[in-house]
Amino acid sequence: MVLMTSFKCEDIIKFNDNERLLFQGIIVDVAGEPLGNIPVEVRATRSYFNPYFPNYLDLPEGELSGEGVSDSDGNFNIISLASVNAEMYVVVNPSYSKDFQQNRTSFIVSGIDYRNDIENQGFRLTEEVVLDRKSNFRTRILRVTDNTDTLNYSIRFSPLVPIENLQAKDTLAVEFDPNTIVGRMLPNESQTTLDIVMRENDSILFSYSLSGEGIQRDSTIAINAQNRSFDFEF
């Protein structure tokens, strides 16, 4: 039996002879502080990419054509291969979904035909790339009274935080909503601890109810560098 593999030639990304592109930019956090050691990738894709809606969740999986990291001043200078038949785009912090440090962002850089200007193979992003800092946030739920009710609770995050970045360890938490962790403290338990990695300067909504009362109460907690823990006592 002869196996034949066919593919469309127009889908193949061709890298140009005798040409390189330079991508430059600055990565800062929301406070304007430079972020160093942030990985940056330049990719080329033949897939449709809408530059007006550069949502990272919709990014096509392009071919890696350049890579690097930002320096201590937040600057990145990455040489990339050039392609005559593909869109080039930049992804900042591409490993976000696996081991995130800050959130991932991306932007297209060749919405125009860059090859019109043969003397300029360089692209400097006019705006800073702003990333969020992560924060290790700890919530402790403490039973400090003689109350023997079961406590039902939920912690709701900003909808901008994907679920894969929420890490609750050593808890009874069950994740059923992309932005929510729910749990229950049984009468024989006196303490529950939730260690959560999330974006700094974000906030969470802590909701709880006691089985004997049936009333849900809410508490909003701001997360920042000065406030990285929350103790709830009942």
Partner 1 sequence: MGLSLLSIGQEEKTNRWKKYHYDVLGEVWIGYLNPQFYGDNFLAKAFDVGEGVVLGINGLPDHKWYAGVQFSSFRGNVSNTSRVGFFDSSRIQQIYVTGGYSFSKKESRFSMKGGVGFGYVDLRNERNFERFRDNGFTVMGGLTFSYRLNTFFGLYALLQHQWYFLDIDVPPEERSFFRTVTLFAPSVGIKFSFL
Binding site for partner 1 (CB under 8 A): 13-20, 22, 42, 64-69, 77-81, 118-122
- Rounded to the nearest whole angstrom, what is the least distance from the CB of residue 179 to partner 1 in the complex? 35
Element (H, E) at 209: strand 203-210
Report the distance separating Cα 80 and Cα 87, nearest Å.
13
Residue 225, token pair as written in the block: 């560098």
Nearer to partner 1, 42 or 210 (CB): 42
**What is the smallest separation between the CB atom of 112 and partner 1, expressed in angstroms?**
17
Could you tell me how far CA 189 lies from the centroid of its own chain? 34
The amino acid that residue 34 corresponds to is P
**Closer CB to partner 1, 67 or 202, in the complex:** 67
Under 8 Å between Cβ of 110 and 88: yes
* Closer by beta carbon to partner 1, 16 or else 148: 16
Least separation in angstroms between residue 81's CB and partner 1 is: 4
Q: Among 125, 159, 100, 135, which residue's Cα sits nearest to residue 27?
A: 125
Q: Taking Cα atoms as reference points, which of 184, 179, 183 lies closest to residue 203? A: 179
Measured from the CB atom, the residue of 94 and 183 that comes closer to partner 1 is 94
**What is the distance between the alpha carbons of residues 90 and 42, in angstroms, rounded to a whole number?**
4
CB of 101 to partner 1, least distance (A): 18
**Order of strands across the sheet with 217-222?**
174-177, 180-185, 151-156, 203-210, 217-222
Residue whose CB is less far from partner 1, 17 or 170: 17
Bridge partners for 217 per DSSP:
208
The nearest distance, CB 121 to partner 1, in angstroms, is 5
Distance between start and end Cα atoms, the chain: 72
CB of 106 to partner 1, least distance (A): 17
Which CB, 76 or 137, lies closer to partner 1?
76
* Contact by Cβ (8 Å): 178, 164: no
Output 73 or 164, the one with its CB closest to partner 1. 73
Q: How far is the CB of 83 from partner 1 (least distance, A)?
A: 10
